[in-house]
Structures are given as C-alpha cells and as structure tokens.
Amino acid sequence: MSTSSPLNELLATLLERRPFQKRGEREGAISDLCLALLEDKTEVSGLQTARAILDRYQDLEPGQLIDFFTFLNDDLDVDADAISKLVELYMIENSASNFKQLARASEPHRQELFRRLNEVSGATAELVNMRADLLEFLKENPVLGRTDFDLVHLLRSWFNRGFLVLRQITWDTPASILEKIIAYEAVHEIQNWDDLRRRLHPSDRRCFAFFHPAMPDDPLIFVEVALTKGVPGSIQKVLSDQRETLDASEADTAVFYSISNCQAGLAGISFGSSLIKQVVRDLSHELLGIKRFVTLSPIPGLGRWVEKQDDKNMLEDKANLKKIAAHFLLEAKKPDGKPYDPVARFHLGNGAIVHMIHSEADTSGKGMAQSGGAMVNYLYDLKKISQNVELFGNNDTVVASSAVRSLAKQAARKIPTDPT
Amino acid sequence: MSTSSPLNELLATLLERRPFQKRGEREGAISDLCLALLEDKTEVSGLQTARAILDRYQDLEPGQLIDFFTFLNDDLDVDADAISKLVELYMIENSASNFKQLARASEPHRQELFRRLNEVSGATAELVNMRADLLEFLKENPVLGRTDFDLVHLLRSWFNRGFLVLRQITWDTPASILEKIIAYEAVHEIQNWDDLRRRLHPSDRRCFAFFHPAMPDDPLIFVEVALTKGVPGSIQKVLSDQRETLDASEADTAVFYSISNCQAGLAGISFGSSLIKQVVRDLSHELLGIKRFVTLSPIPGLGRWVEKQDDKNMLEDKANLKKIAAHFLLEAKKPDGKPYDPVARFHLGNGAIVHMIHSEADTSGKGMAQSGGAMVNYLYDLKKISQNVELFGNNDTVVASSAVRSLAKQAARKIPTDPT
Amino acid sequence: MSTSSPLNELLATLLERRPFQKRGEREGAISDLCLALLEDKTEVSGLQTARAILDRYQDLEPGQLIDFFTFLNDDLDVDADAISKLVELYMIENSASNFKQLARASEPHRQELFRRLNEVSGATAELVNMRADLLEFLKENPVLGRTDFDLVHLLRSWFNRGFLVLRQITWDTPASILEKIIAYEAVHEIQNWDDLRRRLHPSDRRCFAFFHPAMPDDPLIFVEVALTKGVPGSIQKVLSDQRETLDASEADTAVFYSISNCQAGLAGISFGSSLIKQVVRDLSHELLGIKRFVTLSPIPGLGRWVEKQDDKNMLEDKANLKKIAAHFLLEAKKPDGKPYDPVARFHLGNGAIVHMIHSEADTSGKGMAQSGGAMVNYLYDLKKISQNVELFGNNDTVVASSAVRSLAKQAARKIPTDPT
Amino acid sequence: MSTSSPLNELLATLLERRPFQKRGEREGAISDLCLALLEDKTEVSGLQTARAILDRYQDLEPGQLIDFFTFLNDDLDVDADAISKLVELYMIENSASNFKQLARASEPHRQELFRRLNEVSGATAELVNMRADLLEFLKENPVLGRTDFDLVHLLRSWFNRGFLVLRQITWDTPASILEKIIAYEAVHEIQNWDDLRRRLHPSDRRCFAFFHPAMPDDPLIFVEVALTKGVPGSIQKVLSDQRETLDASEADTAVFYSISNCQAGLAGISFGSSLIKQVVRDLSHELLGIKRFVTLSPIPGLGRWVEKQDDKNMLEDKANLKKIAAHFLLEAKKPDGKPYDPVARFHLGNGAIVHMIHSEADTSGKGMAQSGGAMVNYLYDLKKISQNVELFGNNDTVVASSAVRSLAKQAARKIPTDPT
C-alpha cells in the first residue's frame, strides 16, 4: 500500500479546506473511506476520515448497515493463509520478528479500523452504539459474530475496570445526566422528576454510577440504594412518596433495590459486580452504622417457570407463595446446572446468598405478573463473598439462610424442579 | 482450568482477611501469582492478586526481573500448534465459533495478564514503568521483543488519542504537576522554580501537555511555546530573565521551543504530532494575531555528522555555519533516505518545512557541542501540512524555504552528503 | 458591659457541651439571646449563640415575630442623647477619637447584632429571609422602617456588586439549582422540566444568573435569552415547543424575554441593570453575529391605566392596540413624571429605548388581561446607554424609535395622558 | 446634586468609547473623580469611574497619597451640623423617616465612596492595600484615624467570618498560591520550594488558610501544622530535612508551629482565633488518633523584657532559662494587666493554656536573640476553651499546667515582674 493514493490525497485536501463540511456530503462509499483510513500513514487526514466514516455511518439505512457489517466481517478479516504460513515459521524459530509477523497477521484489519475510529473525540460512545446495532443483526446473521468478537475485544480493553470512575448521583448532579438516569432505569421505572428527586435527595437514599472518561456525560451502569432500619420487604414502601425519611446515621441496612445497565452496546461486558462491591466498600466507610448489605430483587424467572408446571395457578396460592419462591430459587435450574432465575444467577455469582423472601412485595402489574408479587433479598456479606463465589462457581451451590432453606423444604415435595 | 485450585482459594481468603498486608509478605513466586490471576474466574480475589503482583514486581532485583520477563515471554506465549490446527479449521469453515477459537489461541496469555493487572486502580502507570524496565533488557535480549510487542499493543490501545486530554500548564497548575515538568524537560533544562515561572507566567508564554485519565497527575508529553514578534533566532534570548514581556495580543508568531516526552515506557507511541497540531488549532482560535507557527529547534545530528567528515573543524567556521547547517538538513540522509537529523525527521514527518537557520542561536555548552550553536526554525503552515506530509512520506522530499535552499546551495559543492 | 454575666457563662458551657442540641430547647427569650450575643467578647460562644438565635427565629409565631422586630426597632436603637452630646464634642474638636465615639453611637446596636448573626455559616440566606418577613409587617408598622433601613444597609454592603458571580444556567446545571429557576420564574411560568429544557438546552437559548458566594445554590436574579433572526413579536412563538432551533452562529438578535428576581428579602437592592449589561457584554464577545439586544417585555401597566380612562374597552380595539400602547408608553406618567408602566421604568432607567410594539404578542390569559396581548421590545444599544440614562434621569425623557413615536402620534389626540 | 454635571457626562462618554484606555490617561484630579463617582446615579459610568480612581490611585506619589487621604478625611467627612439638627428632630419623633435622615447624615461620604469602589471586580484587594498604605501615614497623622475607622468598618463587614472559606494548602495547590505562602510566612521563614514541599507534602504535615471569595488567589491567614507523637520541643527538629515522616494515623498530637497573617491592610481584623478553632475541629474529625492540640510558639517578648531588667545576661543562664521563661509568661504584664508577651496574649485570649516550656527549642539566630532559644507550647483543650477565655478575659488569669507553674515558682522570687 502507498500513501500516495489519489483518494487519500483528495481526502486530505478536501477535509482540510472544509472544516465545517456538512455530514454525508463526501463522495465515495463508506467502505472506501474505511480502506482509505487503513491506508493512511500520515495521521494528517486520519482524524477527518475517521470523523467522516462515523458521520456516514449515522446515515446508513438498515439495508446499508448489513452491507457495512458484512464488509467489516469479510473484507477486513484475517488472511488465514498468511497465518498458516507464519505460524509454521514461528514453530521453526520463535524469534521476535517471526512473532510480530504472526501477531500482525492474526489480527483482523477491522480491529485497526476500530482503533483508528476511536481516535476521534467522542467516538467511543459511537462505537458502543455501533455494537448495539450489530447485536440487532447478529441473531439472524450469526457469522457476524466474528466482527462482534473483535469489537467486544476492543471495548473490553477500553472499558477496563481501572479506567472507570465511580460517581455518586445526587440532586446536585447536572440535569443532562439525570435525564439519562430516568431514561435508563430498567427495573422500577422512574415516573418523573419528582420521583427521581425522591430517590436521590432524601438523607436515606443514594445512587452511584460508573462512568468512562471518554463518555463523561453518559453513565454505564447505576445502582439505587435505600438506607433502612431492618430489611425491607416491599418495593412499594421503599418508593412511596408518603414514607418518612430516616436520618442516614440511624440506618443499619443498605438496600440495593435497582441496578440498571445503560449501554446496550456493552452487553456481555459486566460492570455490576464491581459496582456493587465498590459501593459496599464506600458505604461501609461513610456510614459506620450500616451492618448489612442486601438487595430487594425481583424474581423474574418465577412466572415463566410456573408456566411450564402442571399447576399454572400456583402463584395465586398466596398462602404458599413464599415457599414456592424459596423452592424455585434453590432448586429450579437451567440445563447447565445454574439457577433458572437470571437475577439469582447475577447475585449468587457475585457471592451473595438468598437471605429472605417476601410476598406482596411488588404489587405492581409487572411484579404480580412475573412473580405473583414475591421478591427476594440477596445478602452481601463481605467476609463470605469469596467462599460463596467458590461454592457457586465450582459446584453451583446456592447458599441460603436457614429461614429460606426451611421455607423451601416445606414446598419441595410438591413441585418438580426441572421445568424441561 | 478450574477455579477450585487450592492456591486460588488460599489467596482469596488470605487477601480478604488482610486488607492492609504489607508488600512482599505473600507466599509464592510472582510467576505463581500470575498464573493464579489468569486462572481466577471470580473477579473476587482478582484485584487483590493483581495488586500483589504489582507490589511484588516493585521489589524484584535485576536478576529476578529478567527471569520474570522470560517467564512472560516463554511461559505465557501463544501455543503455535493450536494456532496451526485452528487456522486449518478456519480455512475450512470461517464460522464465528471457529474464528473465536482461532482468535483466542492467537493471543498470548500475557496480554490477558496485562489487562487484568490494569484493572487495579493506578496500575496503568505501573505498566508503563514495566515497559520502561523491559526496554532496558531488550537490547541484550532481543527475543523479549515478543513480550514488548504485546505490551506496546495494549498500551497503544489504552493510550488511544481519543482518550488523551490536552491541558494548559500555567502558574496556577498544582505544584505536584509542575515539579514533574521541571524533571521531564529534556531539551532546555529548567534550572529552578523561578525559571519555570518565567516559562509559564508571562503573558507571552504558554505550555500545553497531554494527560491520560488514568494518570491524571503525570503528563505524557508537553510543549513550551513563546509568543513573539517575528521569528526568533536565539534560544538564550527566548529564555532570558532580562527580556521584556510582550502582550500576547501583539504577538504574530508562536514558537514551539521545547517538546519533551515524559514516559520512557511509552517510547514508540507518538503523541508529539497530535500535540503540536492541537496546540496550533487552539492558539489560532485564541489569539487572532498569530500568523505563523514555527519551532526553534536544535540540530543534534549536525555535530555527529561532521565528526564523520574529513573536515572535523567545520563547525568552527562561523562564517559558513548557516550554510553548512542548511546543507546538512537538506542533504544528509540515513541509508533509508530519511534525513540524518532526528529532530528534522520528526517535524518534517509532521508536515513542517525547514524555514530559517540561525548561527549563535544556542550558545550553551550543549548547543555548541551538538551543532556549533546553530538552530533551525521549522514552519507549520496548516494549509500545506497534508501536502508536505505526502511529499515527505512518499518521496522523502525535504521542503524548505527559498532562503534555506539558497544557503544550502552555497555550501553544497564542498561537502559529501552521505556520511557512511 | 462585662463578659462575666452569668447568662453568658451558662450559654457558653451549655452550648459547648451539647453540640447537637435540638432547636428551640434552649432556655431564655430570643431577646435575651440577642443581648447575650452583643455582650459576648470572646467569640467562643458567639457562633453558637448566633446559631441558636437563628434557629429560635424560625420557630416564632406571627405574634412573636412582631414582638421580635419591635425589640430590634426600639431596644436596639441608637441613643439619641449620646449622639447629641458626642456631635457637640466633635464640632469642638474633630479628632479621630471624638469621631470614633460619635460613629459608634450613631450606629444602632441592631447592626452589630445582624453582623454577628451573619458570622454563622449559612446565615446570609436566613437574614435575607428575615428581611422578607420584616417587609410583610412594614406596611402596617411603618416605624419598623428604622430596622429595615439598617438591614438593607448591611445587605447592600454584603451583596456588593463586586462580590456577585455571573453563572450561565444550562441543562448541565445541578438539578437542585434548576428546580429553583422553575420556582422563581415570575414572568412566563415554566410549566415543567420539559419546558425548562426547551429554555436552556437548544443552541439558540441562554440563561444567566447572579449568585452570591455565601448562597452558592440560590440564584439572586436570572434572565432568559432567546437568540433569533430578527426581532420577535410573539412570546408564544418564542416559547413554542414546535419551533425550529436556530444555530447560535446564525442569530443576529439576542432577546431578553424574562427577568426574575428570586429573593423577596432583597427588594430594593437592584441587580437587574448589572445583569443585563454584563450579559450584553458577554454575549457580544461570544457571538460575533449578534447585532442587536432587545427585550420582549410585557406592558403590565396598560390594563390598569385603561381601567381609569373613560373608554374602558379601549384594549378590545385590536386595530388600534399598537397605537394605544405606544401612546401609553410614551405619555402615561406617574405624578413624579416617570412612566406609569413599571417595566418601562426599569428598562428606560437602564438606558434602553422603546423600539417596537406588537399586538397579539402575548395571547395567554395573563397577557390579554394586562395589555390586551400587546408587548414591547426595548432596545439596548451599548453606544447610547449612557446618553439615554442621562436623558431619562434628568428630564424623564422617554427615547423611542421613530416607528413607535409615529404610532403614538396617531393615537395621541384621543386619549387623556394623565390617569389621575 | 444632579447627574447632569458636565464632568459626569463627559466621563460616561469617554469611558464607554475607550474601553481599553490606558491607566492614568484620564483628565481631572483623583478627588474630582471621587466626587463624580459619588454624584453618579446611573450606575452606567460608575464602574468605569471607580476603575479609573483605583488605577489613578496606583500611580500616586507619597506626597499625593497624603493629599488623597486628607481629602477623604476632611472633604468626605460627616456634616456635624446636620447631625446635630437631625438628632434633635429624632429626639422629638423617632419616626422611620427621621431615623433615615439621621442615619444618612451620620455616615461619612467616604464610606459610600469605598462601597462604590468595591463594586469593581477585583477592587476588594485594592482597598485592602489602600488600608495598608493608610496605616503607614496614620502614625504621623493620627487624625486620619477617622478615615481608617470607616475603612476598617467596611472591611470588617466585607470580611465577615461567614464569608471566609477554609482551604487546605497542599502540594497540589496552584503554584501561584504557594508562592504567596512562601512570601507571607512570617514566623519560620520558608527557604525555597524544597522547604515548602517538606511542610506540605509529607503525610504528617498540614497547612490551612482562610480565603475570601473576592480574593480567591490570595490567602488572608494560614497556619502550618505538624502531626507528631508526643509534644515537640524543638522547631529545628520539626522542620529538619532529615526527619523521618510519621504516618498520619499514628500521630497523637497536632502542633500549630506557625501562624501568619498575610494582609497588612487587614490589621486589627482578627482571623487567627477562628482559623485555629476550625482547624482543631476539622482535624479532630479527620484523624481520630489526635488527642492533643498544641502550639510550638516563640516567646518574642522575653528578650525585650530581660533588656529592661537589671540582670541583662539572664538569658545566658541556660540552666535556669526554662524557669525564667515560665516566670515571664505567667507574671510579666503590661500596664493594663495583660501578659507582656504578644504571642501569649493571642493564644491565652483564644482560650489556650501555657502547657510546656523548652530550652534549646529555637537555636536559630532569631530564636536565640528573642528568647535565648526558649519556646513554649500552648495547649488548646476544646472542653476548657470557654472557661479559659472567661478567666483570662475577666481577671487576666493566665492558666498554666502544674509543671509550668512549678517552674515559674522556682524562678519567681529572684525577678521583678513589672518591667516599668
């Protein structure tokens, strides 16, 4: 390749002369721009070409999107023949230069393309959105998994935990960020700004989010916390606009009642476990009276699981709901042996245990539908997290309090545990 | 691999129970800790193991360092056999799953190790320093170039231009950063805090640095700028403590008189070109009177080049020094055809041209020794940067002003241009 | 006076031992606390006594409030006999010591009380609120004007223009400040957070507020600005949620469409003129395309004035409304010769001129009621502000554009200009 | 007075047309400008006139300065006749309007002048410097005490404790502020930036300063603190560049070893007591291990006092120096009964007690000269501060530890306690 390509020359000139060029005006297909960017050795026009590609991307129609992803997947793939030859050489002599040739050949060109795009100010968020788009097509085009693998590989590197910044979200946070909290809340919808204020402003409420320095206005994940006396058993009470505020210094329990991922494009790159652990650590230092860290979590799998049972009205048996839920959480499994309930998998995988179960805990339409109103507290005990992670990771052991185990036993005989 | 390894279990327990454990106390070799970190699937003990590895690394003696790097290079290398088999499979069917297997096998385990180490808060700076150590050994152990390639690969990704932050360094900057500016200045030494103040505080002085969000207190590179009337031809005048301050609004020229890279561990990852271009852009907007962006640069290669000539006293010919320097800059080449002078290669590669040459421009001992006191202004003309980059990149063409070309011609007949 | 008063001693001890004492628990009347604070020479218990007074004040019932203000007015007044004697002495010898005695006697004790209260962190806002309370009683108890005079005297000193900070209010401003903007908007009500967003976020909208460092979360006054092409003649169009956003760089006009004072307790201490002038200066520098600074103002006096005329249906004469409004603005006066309309007095006093008049400009219920829907643009021409202020200040001359003067003339013969 | 004064009109026009007018160019004496500023009712030209007065002030020669202060003192004084008449009226009827007339007459015009000058951005610092100038003249012109009284009156109001901001000074503080700390240190000179770093950067060192929002770059007063194990008895050991750093969490004592006022123009407006108390409070919360707050203070009065004794060589009696110093601190008094030593007066007045006395504690030339090398620890015991203040304030009682009292007794018989 040579930097003297006429296209490249043209681009550089064009771009430098028209700094405020409108989007989409540039000649040439987006794929040509990508090739030009990969060819560019000068860094001069590189940023402008990259900016143009990102702008052009915004304007692609669905049909063009699939073409673009296919271009990335096929035209910018690895050269398997080259790898094959170079690995032979490396087996003969594992010198640094043989290694470098092999390493360069082993990396698809699209990785370099993504890296160059990311040099543009603000591009990181756009690449996250590109991944979100890609995920849409992935279901029907599994072969695009090659491109997805590379993009995730880079995103994981860029969103390295060491780069993330924990910030408390308060009523003093800029409105431009708060409106995103409202939009991203995925568990218990925030109705309006008054509802948001009730979750941020009182002395017994906290909210924390992870941010990346290249996306300072856009949270990656956030958790909402209630400080309480005792372990709460009703989300409606926690969120009530009638409730009395507790002085934070009098609280003995911190309740994670909602965790929301904000970026669809970062699916599969998990921040939740780090967030919970850092918040546990920070709150422990700030509020010496807090003795207990629990969640107040939905049981979204319960309804789906009951659907598959003979007795589909099980959730209407209010008297036995807690027993059924306990039994479900401890015994209902996926074919791989992990718990059937996704929220259970998340918290148990983080080292929490099943602590308490409540009926009439989420009486909203959604809550009644997904679990007959039952909710569960998972307990994070810093001293036992490692041990729990080991037990769960190695043996799929679900650790639970004796109260929950006892509840589960009372229900156990009546219900088949494997829904399949 | 399995997370139930006794080592892993031990580590997790030990680490959680002794949060303030002193450095170096932990049992086990650093290589065992690295293997344990790679094995860890839980993220629980991961951060603590990573922290322990970094601490242990600090305490390694030189002999242990080479062992550690050799461990990374050999034990955590790719499995060439696996690549060989997987690339065959991929040639048969380029499915996403075949691709992923191949991609995973193509990445040396040390890359994953570096990534996990980088999850620790503050680790980025430590990995940069690890690379600096590695570079020391590389000369005598070129095979370590494999590990160096991987580490650079990751550093380049983490220090992506889109993540860098340009900050002006002023007399209002925290002293903790200013002391680093003093320490890192590599071109014209900063004598003391008064000297620093003279370079930052007056209305006609500027300084800009790139920072990375994960190393907010440590500049990566900085440039010092003087605002002048006309193009200056003496660094001593620019730095004089007797000079009169110019009101910034009256300046017509911005002079880059010193650029210093701060991090030895980032050698080969270039920020200078981006820095100069962004500063040119920012100053153009801030100071509408600036018509010209030049450097006032040393010619460090001139003395070395003259050494190789028959006439070793050439630099003492004050009357002809400018001609000799012009001739040198335009004609003296490395075997690959690029200019012999490293500073010339940097600025010409960025798209600058050779603008003016001055004798008696750096009368310090260093200045006299390296170039007989001669210095050069490279000119950055935003409108022609692209074109110059092309010309230099493709044809090694050194663009110069007619004045410099004329000077060079007057000297040209007398001196062999190729020192080899 | 002596610091050994038992009350004082008791207070100091009590206060130091009970740092978290609840409000209102303390023994003794608020007036006794005030006397104790004035007696205190130690600064030790002073802050705590002051804090106690402010807390106690919060709990006073209306009947107790009037008692408290009467105490300030009478018990903490000047000693006229002392002044009389000391001024005689000063007339005999104007020495520094005679001056100081006289000066001390001339200052009512309540001034020192207010100053000491203000030493408490956060007290400034509480004293502003105390003034707001006082204003309520002033109407029926004009003699309290003595205390009001002293409180205003100090507030004017504390809220010195040199201490005020201009801040832009944007969609990135903390929600805790934005909710105050919503609450304080007095001209065109902000319906909800979406309405607020429309006034802050688009490229062609601006909002600026003055803050005092001791009340950093509470604006004193703010102005909302629309950037437009041409002079707008309808507030509904300016505030419409359907309107198209203009790029700020294309605007030629900045429109002050709403100015709201936020602190009732600062009535009579004017910040509006400074605010408008500083915003004009700042916007002139930021947006070089702005050629014209106008208001879009209500004419609240027009309706009241028409009420007093024979023809009370005048505002329904749509065809002639602009003429009537022009005539009113130029000719209708208060007995002191100043314009009858309060908004006109404000802007003309600041050096603006009457620039354009519009009918159907505010079609809200409030707008129709107060002026039949008419509004007016006042024009701020930086070059003529001084001259206009002189003309208006000395001769009550209302400067107007020729178009407005011409409109007024057409109406002039039919309507008596003095409503009294 | 009338705003139509030609001077005023001229000024307004001139000023608006020449926004970048150079200093000192304006016609008219500074006194005329002051009169014009007082006359200005428009606020339009006010700020510019005020700015011009402040600029003109900068250029005054000493002879002109005394003229200017005399102008303020005499021409802008109160009208005693008017006061005399108005106070009679007020005695007859203490109405609000009579009060206001009297109050206005009782305030010298110079106060309004100072207030209007202070409306200019940055003027506060200039008025503080004006007071510093005035103090120079005051000694020889005591009658200027009238003007000084008024200026102090306003400065006290503007520098109200409630407006001051406590900031920690660290090695991360801007260099522009740190250079002022170096310049202002009045007790134990800071030699250079390395010395400063040793006082700020180590874990066992702290520095705190009060700032005013209108002078954000200029500290008003600062205190340097050492965290130690035990009570130190040598300033050279505290400041040694050889000493070992203590981990802050292991310290049991906080030592205030230097307090410096920064603004000569604020003499007589005391911030030291507030600063010490707030720092005691803040450090108590931050470092739970701190059990004791002491000073390590010079005894500057000791040498002067010994000078007046018969035995002028008393300080050379090393064996008895501590006894002599103890005796001096407890018994040597000024005619008004307060301690002879000014540092003792300050700390005892704040509620501290004399805790320990050390010889060979300050072996610098200054230390040997002023007290034969002796130093003293004053102890701040939060629980007893009030009581100590009472005792000292009412009865001039100097509270001391039993050890110090015992030392003093051993020396007491031999030395006359009243130097006069």
Summarised one tens digit per residue, pLDDT across range D91-107 is 999 999 999 999 999 99
Query: Does residue A172 belong to the interface with chain C, where contact is any CB pair within 8 Å?
Result: yes
pLDDT mean over B82-93: 97
Report the alpha-carbon distance of residue B364 to residue B188 in Å, rounded: 10
pLDDT over 80 (residue B6)? no
Between A311 and A35, the higher pLDDT residue: A35
Strands (E), C50-170: 165-168
- Shortest CB distance from A174 goes to which of C174, C179, C192? C174
**How much is the pTM?**
0.88
Percent pLDDT > 90 in chain C is 74
Any idea what the Cα angle at residue D141 is, between residues D135 and D143, rounded to 5°? 100
Is residue C54 a contact partner of residue C126, using CB atoms and an 8 Å limit? yes
In B332-401, alpha helices (H): 342-349, 365-371, 385-395
- Per-residue pLDDT, averaged over B195-201, amounts to 97
Conformational region of residue B128, where left means phi above 0, alpha means psi within -120 to 50, and beta covers everything else = alpha
Q: Would you say residue A417 lies in a domain?
A: no
Contacts of C224 (CB under 8 A, 6+ apart): C185, C199, C205, C206, C207, C256, C257, C258, C259
Residue of A nearest to B272 (CA): A43
- Closest alpha carbon to D206 in D257, D180, D152, D170: D170
Taking only the tens place, the pLDDT of each residue in C317-335 is 888 999 999 999 999 999 9
Q: CA A260 to CA A169: how far, in whole Å?
A: 14
Min distance C217 CA to chain D CA atoms (Å): 15
A40 touches chain B (CB under 8 A): no
**What's the confidence (pLDDT) of residue C192?**
95
Element (H, E) at C380: strand C375-380
Specify whether A194 is located in the same domain as A140: no
**Quick check: B118 contacting A, CB < 8 Å?**
yes
Same domain, A96 and A178: no
CATH number for the domain that contains residue D271: 3.40.630.180
Judged against a pLDDT cut of 60, whether residue A19 lies above it is answered with: no
Give catalytic residues of A, as residue numbers: 297, 347
Residue where one domain finishes, among candidates C123, C158, C193 = C158
- Residue D172 to chain B, least CA–CA distance (Å): 4
A166 shares its domain with A83 = no
Contacts of D6 in chain C (CB under 8 A): none
Closest of C28, C138, C119 to residue C73, by C-alpha = C138
Q: What is the pLDDT of residue B21?
A: 33
| Contact yes or no for D91/D165 (Cβ under 8 A) | no
SS (H, E, C) chain A: CCCCCHHHHHHHHHHHHCCCCCCCCCCCCHHHHHHHHHHCCCCCCHHHHHHHHHHHHHCCCHHHHHHHHHHHHHHCCCCHHHHHHHHHHHHHCCCHHHHHHHHHHHCCHHHHHHHHHCCCCCHHHHHHHHHHHHHHHHCCCHHHHHHHHHHHHHHHHHCCHHHCEEEECCCCCEHHHHHHHHHHCCCCCCCCHHHHHHHHCCCCEEEEEEECCCCCCCCCEEEEEEEECCCCCCHHHHHCCCCCCCCHHHCCEEEEEEEEECCHHHCCCCCHHHHHHHHHHHHHHHCCCCCEEEECECCHHHHHHHHCCCCCCHHHCHHHHHHHHHHHHHHCECCCCCECCHHHHHHHHCCCEEEEEECCCCCCHHHHHHHCCCEEEEEECHHHHHHHHHHHHHHCCCCECHHHHHHHHHHHCCCCCCCC
Q: Please indicate, yes or no, if residue C167 is contained in any of the structural domains.
A: yes
Tell me: do C254 and C284 sit in the same domain: yes
Q: In the block, which residue shows the tokens 């009703």?
A: A234
- pLDDT on residue D386: 80
pLDDT in tens, C102-143: 999 999 999 999 999 999 988 999 999 999 999 999 999 999
Catalytic residue among D188, D347, D355, D358: D347
Tokens encoding A318: 């209010």
CB of C197 less than 8 A from some CB of A: yes
**Domain identity same for C116 and C130:** yes
Q: Does C174 sit within 8 Å of A176, measured CB to CB?
A: no
pLDDT at B222 over 50: yes
B190 has a chain D CB within 8 A of its CB: no
Under a CB-based contact definition with an 8 Å cutoff, are residues A344 and A302 in contact? no
Residue D420 confidence class, pLDDT cut points 50, 70, 90: very low
Residues A338 and A393 in one domain: yes
Residue C418 lies in a domain: no
Residue B376's DSSP bridge partners are B297, B357
pLDDT at A5: 37
- Residue C238's beta-bridge partner residues? none
Q: Give the pLDDT of residue B29.
A: 87
Q: What is the pLDDT of residues D290-340, one digit of tens each?
A: 999 999 999 999 999 998 887 778 888 888 999 999 999 999 999 989 999
C-alpha to C-alpha distance for A381 and A292, rounded to whole angstroms: 7
pLDDT of residue B416: 54
Burial per residue of C82-104, b for 16 or more beta-carbon CB atoms within 10 angstroms, e otherwise:
ebbebbebbeeebebebbbbbbe
Q: How confident is the model at residue D413 (pLDDT cuts 50, 70, 90)?
A: low
Considering only the beta carbons, identify the residue of C171, C179, C192 that sits closest to A176: C171
Residues A12 and A154 in one domain: yes
So which residues of C are the catalytic ones?
A: 297, 347
Q: Which of B124, B158, B192 is the last residue of a domain?
A: B158
Mean pLDDT across C287-311:
92
The per-residue pLDDT for range B151-183, each reduced to its tens digit, is 999 999 999 988 999 999 999 999 999 999 999
Nearest CB neighbour to B80, from listed A90, A122, A161: A90
Distance CA A19, CA B285 (A): 14
pLDDT at residue C392 tops 70: yes
In chain D, what residues touch C142 (CB-CB under 8 Å)? 95-96
- Give dist(CA C409, CA B242) in Å, integer: 69
R_g over Cα of chain A: 26
Q: Which of C331-340, C406-415, D288-297 has the lowest mean pLDDT?
A: C406-415
Among candidate residues B188, B212, B327, B347, the one labeled active-site is B347
Q: What is the pLDDT of residues A184-214, one digit of tens each?
A: 998 899 999 999 999 999 999 999 999 999 9
- Using a CB-CB cut-off of 8 Å, the residues of chain C touching D84 are 84, 87-88, 91
In this prediction, what percent of chain D has a pLDDT beyond 70?
90
Are residues D349 and D290 located together in one domain of the fold?
no
Which long-range contacts does A259-262 make (Cβ < 8 Å, 24+ apart)?
Answer: A259/A187, A259/A221, A259/A222, A259/A223, A259/A224, A260/A184, A260/A185, A260/A186, A260/A187, A260/A221, A260/A222, A260/A223, A261/A184, A261/A186, A261/A220, A261/A221, A262/A180, A262/A184, A262/A218, A262/A219, A262/A220, A262/A221, A262/A222
Instruction: Say if residues D412 and D390 touch (Cβ distance below 8 Å).
Output: no
User: What per-residue confidence (pLDDT) applies to A80?
Assistant: 96
Coil, helix or strand at residue B310: coil
Nearest C-alpha of chain B: how many angstroms from D173? 5
Q: Using 50, 70 and 90 to split pLDDT, how confident is the model at B273?
A: confident
Q: Is the pLDDT of residue B3 over 70?
A: no
Using 50, 70 and 90 to split pLDDT, how confident is the model at C44?
low
The answer to whether B33 contacts chain D (CB < 8 Å) is no
Q: Which two tokens stand for residue D328?
A: 């001096």
Range of the domain at A405: 297-412
Spatial separation of the C-alpha atoms in residues A369 and A34, rounded to whole Å: 48
Q: Determine the average pLDDT of the residues in C357-374.
A: 95
pLDDT of residue B121: 87
Q: Does any domain span residue A420?
A: no
CB D195 within 8 A of CB D157: no
Domain boundary among C110, C133, C158: C158
Nearest chain D Cα distance for residue C69, angstroms: 14
Question: Is D142 domain-assigned?
Answer: yes
Looking at the predicted structure, is the pLDDT value of residue B68 above 80? yes
Contact residues, chain D, for C107 at CB < 8 Å: 106
Please list, in sequence order, all residues whose beta carbon lies within 8 angstroms of the beta carbon of residue D134, skipping any fewer than 6 positions away: D69, D144, D147, D148, D151
Q: What CATH code is carried by the domain that includes residue B396?
A: 3.40.630.150
C157 touches chain D (CB under 8 A): yes
> A271 is written with which tokens?
């921040």
Summarised one tens digit per residue, pLDDT across range D8-51 is 333 333 333 333 333 444 457 899 999 999 987 655 567 888 99
Higher-confidence position of A318 and B210: B210
Q: Count of A–B CB contacts within 8 Å?
A: 190
SS3 of residue B341 by DSSP: coil
CB contact under 8 A, A42 and B3: no
**Do A33 and A142 belong to one domain?**
yes
* Residue recorded with tokens 């991944």: A131
Residue A353 has pLDDT above 90, yes or no: yes
Q: Share the mean pLDDT of chain D.
A: 88
- For residue A16, pLDDT over 50 is answered with no
Based on the domain organization, do D116 and D211 belong to the same domain? no
Could you report the predicted ipTM of this complex, rounded to two decimals?
A: 0.85
Residue A92 pLDDT class (50, 70, 90 cuts): very high
Closest-CA residue of D relative to C111 is D157
Contact A175 C176 (CB under 8 A): no
Structure token pair of residue D269: 């407006």
Q: What pLDDT does residue A22 have?
A: 38
pLDDT of residue B43: 56
At C43 the pLDDT is: 56
Compute the distance between CA of residue D241 and CA of residue B141 in angstroms, rounded to an integer: 42
Say if residue B291 is in the same domain as residue B303. no
Q: How far is A340 from chain B (nearest CA, A)?
A: 20
Interface test with A, best of C22, C169, C178 (most A CBs within 10 A): C178
Q: What confidence score (pLDDT) does residue C257 get?
A: 97
In this prediction, residue D43 carries a pLDDT of: 56
Identify the CATH number of the domain in which residue D110 sits: 1.20.140.90
CA–CA gap between residue A50 and residue A127 (Å, rounded): 12
Helices and strands per DSSP (H, E), number in chain B: 19, 7
pLDDT value at residue C223? 97
Give a yes or no: residue B2 inside a domain: no
* D272 φ/ψ sector (left φ>0, alpha ψ -120 to 50, else beta): alpha
Say whether pLDDT at D209 is over 70: yes
Structural domain includes residue B1: no
Mean pLDDT of A104-113: 96
Taking the Cβ of residue D119 and every Cβ of chain C, the question of whether any pair is shorter than 8 Å is answered with yes
Mean pLDDT of the residues in chain A: 88
Same domain, C221 and C321: no
Give chain C's length.
420
Q: Do D174 and B176 touch (CB under 8 A)?
A: no
Cross-chain CB nearest to D172 (options B174, B193, B197) = B174
pLDDT tens digit string along D345-396? 999 988 899 999 999 999 999 999 999 999 999 999 988 888 888 888 888 8
* Cβ distance of C193 and A197 shorter than 8 Å: no
Total domains, chain A: 3
- d(CA C113, CA B362) in angstroms, rounded, equals 68
Q: Write the DSSP symbol of residue C264.
A: G
Most confidently predicted of B328-342, D299-313, D404-418:
B328-342
A418 is a domain residue? no
C360: closest CA among C418, C397, C403, C316?
C316
* Residue C394: predicted pLDDT: 80
Angstrom distance (rounded) from CA D20 to CA A271 = 55
